[in-house]
């Protein structure tokens, strides 16, 4: 089956650790809990979207140490992995996330083979057959070339640089990518950086460059800006909130599940909110992946 969605982004291992207090420099402290989880922006969206019935491909780069059980999980959910590339002499991207008792966090990120994307040939097999291309974290020059190729192929491009908007992208590259896109996804903090890059003051002003702006607001829901107006969508009600890691990626997966079923933007955002509400009930991004039936039912409770 041809993919409806092709996701470009990170595939990495997340080590989530907790401690009582952060140590002073040149001292040590005991870790109270340490667990390994599967993650990465690209892997999260691709795996959850595929679980929701969306034919999805993943384009990403890993090392020879990439865990077999991680690959098996994605394959079991139906992710098309033909463009998941193993790069010799590199270790798979890894993130160490450390939290104290006050829920303050420090993250240490090892980019692995993703740092060498610019020297690699474009991986376009999946993208050429997909309807939608979702661009996430990774190297801007590589992605700009992908986006230009996809634009020539008349693909719908979603641009979602996530936290890397602050330190990997610059104003010039960002504006070029935005002008190649049909949709821009960002949380509150990322939106502020986007506005600064584009020298704009309001989210609506970005519509001069991109037709749709999807602004996720965590517990406050989401706002979608289009030239036809603004839609405000509440968050879905979750059970006990265990870990918000990957909630934004889950929203995007649910959003595309709506697009796949030809839903309108408001309904897509409700489905995104419902998907995120399940993921935050478990620790790690891919631990509590919901079924489509569960997402659809919970989305129906959003007014």
Q: What is the pTM of this model?
A: 0.94
Q: Confidence band (pLDDT; 50, 70, 90) for 283?
A: confident
The string of pLDDT tens digits covering residues 9-19 is: 999 999 989 99
The string of pLDDT tens digits covering residues 172-181 is: 999 999 999 9
Helices (H), the chain: 41-51, 68-76, 125-129, 140-152, 171-179, 188-198, 247-260, 265-279, 292-299
Query: What is the CATH class of 5-11+40-92+113-299?
Result: alpha beta
- Percentage above 70 pLDDT, the chain: 100
Task: Output the pLDDT for position 157.
Answer: 98
91, 65 Cβ separation under 8 angstroms: yes
Annotated catalytic residue within 14, 160, 243, 249 = 249
Q: How far apart are CA 270 and CA 266, in angstroms?
A: 6
Task: Output the pLDDT for position 97.
Answer: 87
Task: Output the pLDDT for position 1.
Answer: 78
Task: Output the pLDDT for position 244.
Answer: 82
The string of pLDDT tens digits covering residues 178-198 is: 999 999 999 999 999 999 999
Angle at the Cα of 35 from the Cα atoms of 111 and 98, rounded to 5 degrees: 60
The string of pLDDT tens digits covering residues 23-69 is: 999 999 999 999 999 999 999 999 999 999 999 999 999 999 999 99
Would you call 249 a catalytic residue per the annotation?
yes
- What mean pLDDT do residues 89-105 have? 89
- What mean pLDDT do residues 87-100 have? 92
Q: Which residues pair with 62 in a beta bridge?
A: 86
Q: Spell out the domain ranges in the chain.
A: 5-11+40-92+113-299
């Amino acid at each position: 089956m041809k993919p409806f969605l092709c996701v470009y982004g990170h595939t990495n291992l997340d080590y989530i650790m907790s401690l009582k207090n952060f140590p002073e420099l040149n001292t040590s402290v005991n870790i109270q809990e340490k667990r390994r989880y599967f993650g990465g922006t690209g892997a999260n969206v691709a795996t959850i979207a595929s679980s929701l019935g969306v034919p999805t491909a993943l384009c990403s780069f890993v090392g020879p140490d990439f865990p077999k059980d991680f690959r098996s999980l994605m394959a079991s959910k139906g992710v098309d992995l033909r463009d998941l590339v193993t790069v010799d002499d590199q270790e798979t991207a890894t993130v160490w996330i450390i939290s104290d008792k006050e829920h303050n966090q420090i993250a240490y990120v090892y980019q692995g083979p993703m740092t060498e994307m610019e020297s690699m040939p474009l991986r376009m097999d999946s993208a050429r057959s997909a309807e939608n291309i979702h661009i996430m974290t990774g190297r801007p020059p590589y992605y700009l070339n992908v986006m230009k190729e996809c634009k020539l192929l008349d693909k719908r491009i979603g641009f979602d640089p996530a936290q890397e908007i602050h330190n990997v992208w610059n104003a010039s590259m960002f504006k070029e990518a935005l002008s190649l896109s049909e949709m821009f996804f960002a949380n509150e903090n990322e939106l502020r950086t986007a506005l600064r890059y584009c020298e704009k003051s309001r989210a609506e002003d970005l519509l001069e460059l991109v037709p749709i702006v999807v602004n996720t607001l965590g517990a406050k829901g989401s706002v979608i800006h289009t030239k036809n107006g603004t839609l405000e969508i509440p968050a879905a009600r979750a059970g006990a909130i265990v870990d918000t890691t990957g909630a934004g990626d889950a929203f995007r997966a649910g959003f595309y599940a709506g697009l796949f079923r030809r839903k309108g933007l408001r309904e897509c955002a409700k489905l995104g909110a419902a998907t995120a509400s399940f993921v935050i009930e478990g620790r790690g991004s891919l631990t509590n992946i919901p079924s489509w039936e569960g997402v659809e039912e919970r989305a129906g409770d959003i007014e």
